[in-house]
Amino acid sequence: MNKLVQGIITPILTPMYEDESINFDELRNQVERLIGAGVSGLFCFGTNGESYILSEEEKYAVLEAVIHQTAGRVPIYAGTGCPGTRDTIRMSRKAKELGADMLSIICPYFAAANQTEIYNHFAAVAQAVDLPIVIYNIPPRTGNKVAPETVGRLARDFANIVGVKDSSGDFLNMQQYLEATRFREDFSVLSGNDALIFDNLVNGGAGAIAGCSNIYPKTICSIVELFKKGELAKALEVQRSLIPLRSTFKYGNPNTMIKCATKLLGYPVGNCRAPFNSIAPEGIAALKKVLEDGKKAGME
């Protein structure tokens, strides 16, 4: 696991007040909470940070606040991917200017893209911005998939493309990413699905960008720690302890459920911005039950 990108990286929530403005005081508090729990990095304005609904100005303000509060203790990832290449390059250069350590670039979205277009997009960004880049594959949200062959080709052609986050939920796809990039010892394949962290590690992956680490940062970090110690049975046990939490995702958008759960733990992170903030009463009840059971089990 001698890689630039490894461990548990938290796609940090963007706390908000009731009027949906950003709560920077709580954002700074979450930075301290997550670093104190042992996370390996913080990822600003990912899916769980509501990147899809923040303005550019808000994104830059969030990034500046997190960089300042972190003060170099862990790497900071900035999610700068846009549907178009030109805007992605512009935002990526701004993130570098503000002091981000890494970029997470989502696959171009909304319009259908073929693999040549996807390759050309990431190649152009890699050539234009001198920062390490993690490709972000999340087909259920983008409508486009970064094929394993494309990831392998990008890994071969660009030294600053250092990893890929796979949020497809397809374990076979993640395995194919691992196979396509084994020629580079410094390339990281990360799980973007919190149910597959253990499987990722066992198969040679580097860890995860884990949304649920906003709720249980210490617990999720322990999966990697136990794995590194060779305590695989315990690591698998911790992995399985996340099943009840993830089972509540049937009641709403996963990032909406994660933010609600964090709020129920007593942190004033607010709701997701409308319209992505509705959870049925039975969903809230299920979350409360899971969190209470998790507390009794020592999850934190």
For the stretch 160-199, pLDDT in tens is 999 999 999 999 999 999 999 999 999 999 999 999 999 9
Query: Is 13 within a domain?
Result: yes
Residues with catalytic annotation?
A: 136, 165
Query: Is 14 within a domain?
Result: yes
215-259 residue pLDDT tens:
999 999 999 999 999 999 999 999 999 999 999 999 999 999 999
Query: Is 134 within a domain?
Result: yes
Query: Is 284 within a domain?
Result: no
Q: Which of 165, 226, 231 is nearest to 10 (CA)?
A: 165
The whole domain housing 203 covers: 7-238
7-62 residue pLDDT tens:
999 999 999 999 999 999 999 999 999 999 999 999 999 999 999 999 999 999 99
Query: Is 299 within a domain?
Result: no
> What pLDDT, on a 0 to 100 scale, did the predictor assign at position 2?
54
Query: Is 34 within a domain?
Result: yes
pTM: 0.95
Query: Is 293 within a domain?
Result: no
- How far is the C-alpha of 51 from the C-alpha of 31, rounded, in Å? 17
Task: Note whether 91 and 63 are within 8 A (CB).
Answer: no
Task: Note whether 123 and 62 are within 8 A (CB).
Answer: no
Task: Note whether 100 and 133 are within 8 A (CB).
Answer: no
Write down the mean pLDDT value for the chain: 96
Query: Is 203 within a domain?
Result: yes
CATH number of 115's domain: 3.20.20.70
- Cβ neighbors of 110 (< 8 A, separation 6 or more) are 83, 142, 143
- How far is the C-alpha of 49 from the C-alpha of 13, rounded, in Å? 4
77-136 residue pLDDT tens:
999 999 999 999 999 999 999 999 999 999 999 999 999 999 999 999 999 999 999 999
How many domains does the structure of the chain reveal?
Answer: 1
